């Protein structure tokens, strides 16, 4: 098989931050570096010559695999700018190889980590060269485009930079070759790109109206805040905190937690009302409308799903983040949508709590099927708990799902000492944090903080009781934590393969991988066992590995059995979702979006493709997951929402 490695440099009047589809509407090809197998790297400059015959032949050869870093960019170059029709199935992406190993997604960062010598590293001058030649600049209010005519010497440096990118990409590809994705995983990536190219349908009218209403409402709220506080900038944390303290605010922060505590303690004060107004004025969830506007091309939201966006293999959001969208706090979404489109702020204020709450609650609805189509949505029920029960082989937890019981109500039975049928909605909600969090080794303090995310406050004594209750009821889960840690220790220290139930922990220096039931693996780079302080002040051996910390510094990261368990569970849940996506596509569903455990498909209204069929496909037994109890539920709607 012939391998064609390519790297392109392009110019566009449109920022890449607006998404690839928009970017390539105004893009032109400046140069393309290429290498066929291990032959020398060549450079094609379209302003100098026609496309080289060997490059044209390789692009048109169905048996040639095209490899690039962030290959979807080069797919656009080949198909849109060069004009050669090449299916995405002929491409492979070295960046995806890197991400699958929990390496960074930037070419410049990967080279040093994998130990490339200086001759094979990416040229560090690249950012300045791209700013010089790939984006327009302004001089005296006029657009200036720089190229080989305006900067001939620097252009030659740019040409060498482009060629060096191919050198660096090829060197990294060879370093990672032993960890190459399986053909099935490459097929999964090709499907992912197909879904990203298809895009999700967007209600552009709703987005535009929401942005206009938000701007008006923010101006009104800011004016009201200025009148109330007499501050020049009441949105400023420094200015407003000083003002609030003068009014009796006792906290040193304006964090959501601190403000909520004050509002609970002093609900009827004038400062409480001012704080509520400021919360609305600074609400950031409506910024997702701006992201939607930015990333939407011809009415479709494209390239927002990043394959291998996390260590577990789960997707991440790009430009627009479909994960963790706010839910509506009101029922009549249809009326709210009509009022937003009418830009009727006065009626919204009369019928709902606030304009900002309505805008926030309707963000999901901005994903709307095109006329004649509908959205079919289904999500896997309690998938992480089901996977945890299955991978830990916990009979008690498995029995809950096998008998069709609600895991939160079942735990509430033990929490409150009541019969299953007597559990209230409130009690079920109170049981949710321990059921979801304690499986990943949360202690009492961790559970307290986790519960706050659900709007639930518990003291340390109650948190400790819930933790102990979970661990006693589902005793195979703590045993799994210990077994997983022991197996990982053994693999790191003895550099061998350790079998653990449905998993294998494999040493493949400098990487240790947890091989999942699907055959895919989670990777940990250069793991080690180090004596470190625990949160409770005790020194004990702990697993560390290389990765980015919260400040995006590449360093050693400590982990623990609960986190490893979370990685394993979420990775398997991802693989289960992917099985559902593939089945849905094969059955004729056009998948346009998916989030963690949910699939959104757009289908013709008369297609017969129902949410019941989609849910059945998602919950059908999986060959590699024998005994995993799956269930899914769904709904059909013209627009996306939280069911």
Neighbours of 145 (CB within 10 A): 12
> What confidence tens digit (pLDDT) does each residue in 408-465 have?
999 999 999 999 999 999 999 999 999 999 999 999 999 999 998 888 999 999 999 9
Instruction: Give domain status of residue 76, yes or no.
Output: yes
Mean pLDDT of 126-145: 88
Which residues lie below 8 Å from residue 67, measured CB to CB, with a gap of 6+?
Answer: 3, 4, 5, 6, 91, 92, 93, 94, 169, 173
Same domain, 583 and 622: yes
Same domain, 643 and 496: yes
Mean pLDDT of 369-396: 97
* Angle formed at CA 208 by CA 206 and CA 214, multiple of 5 degrees: 95
Amino acid 538: pLDDT: 82
Amino acid 455: pLDDT: 84
Q: Is the pLDDT of residue 179 over 80?
A: yes
Same domain, 316 and 268: yes
Instruction: Give domain status of residue 49, yes or no.
Output: yes
Amino acid 263: pLDDT: 87
The 3-state DSSP composition of the chain as helix, strand, coil percent (nearest 5) reads 50, 20, 30
Q: What is the CATH number of the domain that holds 173?
A: 3.30.420.10
Amino acid 643: pLDDT: 81
Same domain, 328 and 314: yes
Parallel, antiparallel or unpaired: strands 2-12 and 64-68: parallel
Instruction: Give domain status of residue 191, yes or no.
Output: no
Q: Is the pLDDT of residue 82 over 90?
A: yes
Neighbours of 15 (CB within 10 A): 12
Specify the DSSP class assigned to residue 199: -
| Distance, CA of 421 to chain centre | 38
Same domain, 347 and 444: no
Instruction: Give domain status of residue 276, yes or no.
Output: yes
Same domain, 309 and 402: no
Q: Is the pLDDT of residue 139 over 80?
A: no
Same domain, 437 and 344: no
Instruction: Give domain status of residue 388, yes or no.
Output: no
Q: Is the pLDDT of residue 255 over 90?
A: no
Mean pLDDT of 323-336: 89
Instruction: Give domain status of residue 186, yes or no.
Output: no
Backbone region of residue 343 per phi and psi (left: phi > 0; alpha: psi in -120 to 50; beta: other values): left
Same domain, 303 and 165: no
Over its C-alpha atoms, the chain yields an Rg (Å, rounded) of 27
Which residues lie below 8 Å from residue 621, measured CB to CB, with a gap of 6+?
Answer: 628, 630
Domain containing 246 equals 204-366
pTM score, whole prediction: 0.93
Same domain, 489 and 632: yes
Same domain, 314 and 402: no
Please provide the distance, in angstroms rounded to a whole number, between the alpha carbons at the two ends of the chain: 48
Share of the chain above pLDDT 70, in %: 100
Share of the chain above pLDDT 90, in %: 82
> What confidence tens digit (pLDDT) does each residue in 507-542 have?
999 999 999 999 999 999 999 999 998 776 788 999
Which of 118, 147, 180 is a domain's end point? 180
Count CA within 13 A, CB hemisphere, residue 498: 19
Q: Which residues pair with 593 in a beta bridge?
A: 600
Mean pLDDT of the chain: 94
Which of 148, 180, 212 is a domain's end point? 180
Name which of 226-240, 318-332, 441-455 the model is least confident about: 318-332
Instruction: Give domain status of residue 425, yes or no.
Output: yes
Instruction: Give domain status of residue 159, yes or no.
Output: yes
Contact 251, 262 (CB under 8 A): yes
Per the structure, the count of domains in the chain is 4
Which of 414, 449, 474 is a domain's end point? 474
Query: What is the Cα–Cα distance from 304 to 592, expressed in whole angstroms?
Result: 10
Q: Which residues pair with 598 in a beta bridge?
A: 379, 595
Same domain, 331 and 297: yes
Same domain, 311 and 227: yes
């Amino acid at each position: 098989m012939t391998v064609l490695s390519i790297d392109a440099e392009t110019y566009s009047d449109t920022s890449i931050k607006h998404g690839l589809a928009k970017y390539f509407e105004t893009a032109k090809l400046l140069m393309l570096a290429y290498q066929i197998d291990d032959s020398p790297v060549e450079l094609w400059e379209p302003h100098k010559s026609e496309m080289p015959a060997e490059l044209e032949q390789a692009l048109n050869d169905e048996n040639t695999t095209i490899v690039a870093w962030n290959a979807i960019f080069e797919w656009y170059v080949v198909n849109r700018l060069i004009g050669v029709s090449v299916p995405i199935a002929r491409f492979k992406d070295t960046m995806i190889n890197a991400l699958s190993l929990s390496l960074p997604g930037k070419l410049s960062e990967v080279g040093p980590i994998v130990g490339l010598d200086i001759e094979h590293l990416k040229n560090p001058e690249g950012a300045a060269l791209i700013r010089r030649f790939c984006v327009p600049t302004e001089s005296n209010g006029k657009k200036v485009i720089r190229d080989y005519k305006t900067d001939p010497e620097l252009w030659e440096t740019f040409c060498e930079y482009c060629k060096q990118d191919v050198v660096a990409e090829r060197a990294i590809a060879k370093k990672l070759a032993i960890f190459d994705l399986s053909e099935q995983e490459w097929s999964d990536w090709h499907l992912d790109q197909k879904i990203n190219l298809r895009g999700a349908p967007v209600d552009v009218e709703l987005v535009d109206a929401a942005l206009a209403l938000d701007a008006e409402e923010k101006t009104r709220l800011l004016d009201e805040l200025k009148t109330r506080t007499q501050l020049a900038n009441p949105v400023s944390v420094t200015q407003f905190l000083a003002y609030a303290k003068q009014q009796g605010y006792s906290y040193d922060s304006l964090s959501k937690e601190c403000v909520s505590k004050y509002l609970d303690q002093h609900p009827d004060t004038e400062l409480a009302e001012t704080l509520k107004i400021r919360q609305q004025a600074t609400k950031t969830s409506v910024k997702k409308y701006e992201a939607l506007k930015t990333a939407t091309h011809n009415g479709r939201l494209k390239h927002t799903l990043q394959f291998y966006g996390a260590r577990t293999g789960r997707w991440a959001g790009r430009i627009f983040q479909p994960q963790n969208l706010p839910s509506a706090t009101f029922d009549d979404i249809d009326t709210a949508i009509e009022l937003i489109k009418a830009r009727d702020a006065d009626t919204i204020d009369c019928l709902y709590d606030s304009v900002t709450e309505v805008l926030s609650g309707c963000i999901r609805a901005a994903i709307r099927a095109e006329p004649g189509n509908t959205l079919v949505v289904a999500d896997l029920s309690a998938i992480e708990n089901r996977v945890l029960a299955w991978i830990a082989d916990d009979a008690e937890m498995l029995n809950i799902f096998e008998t069709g019981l609600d895991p939160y109500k079942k735990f509430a039975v033990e929490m409150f000492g009541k019969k299953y049928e007597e559990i209230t909605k409130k009690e079920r909600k109170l049981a949710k944090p321990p059921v979801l969090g304690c499986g990943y080794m949360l202690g009492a303090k961790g559970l307290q903080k986790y519960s706050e995310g659900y709007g639930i406050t518990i003291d340390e004594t109650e948190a400790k009781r819930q933790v102990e209750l979970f661990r006693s009821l589902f005793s195979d889960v703590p045993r799994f934590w210990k077994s997983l840690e022991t197996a990982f220790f053994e693999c790191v220290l003895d550099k061998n393969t350790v079998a653990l139930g449905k998993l294998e922990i494999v040493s493949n220096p400098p990487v240790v991988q947890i091989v999942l039931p699907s055959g895919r693996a989670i990777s940990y780079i250069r793991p080690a066992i180090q004596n470190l302080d625990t949160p409770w002040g005790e020194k004990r051996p702990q697993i560390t590995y290389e990765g980015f910390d919260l400040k995006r510094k590449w360093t050693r990261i400590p982990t623990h059995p609960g986190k490893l368990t979370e990685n394993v569970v979420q990775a398997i849940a991802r693989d289960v979702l992917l099985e559902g996506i593939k089945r849905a596509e094969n059955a004729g569903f056009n998948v346009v979006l998916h989030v963690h455990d949910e699939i959104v498909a757009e289908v013709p209204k008369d297609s017969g493709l129902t949410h019941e069929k989609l849910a059945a496909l998602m919950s059908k037994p999986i060959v590699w997951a024998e005994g995993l109890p799956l269930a899914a539920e769904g709904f059909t709607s013209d627009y996306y929402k939280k069911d």
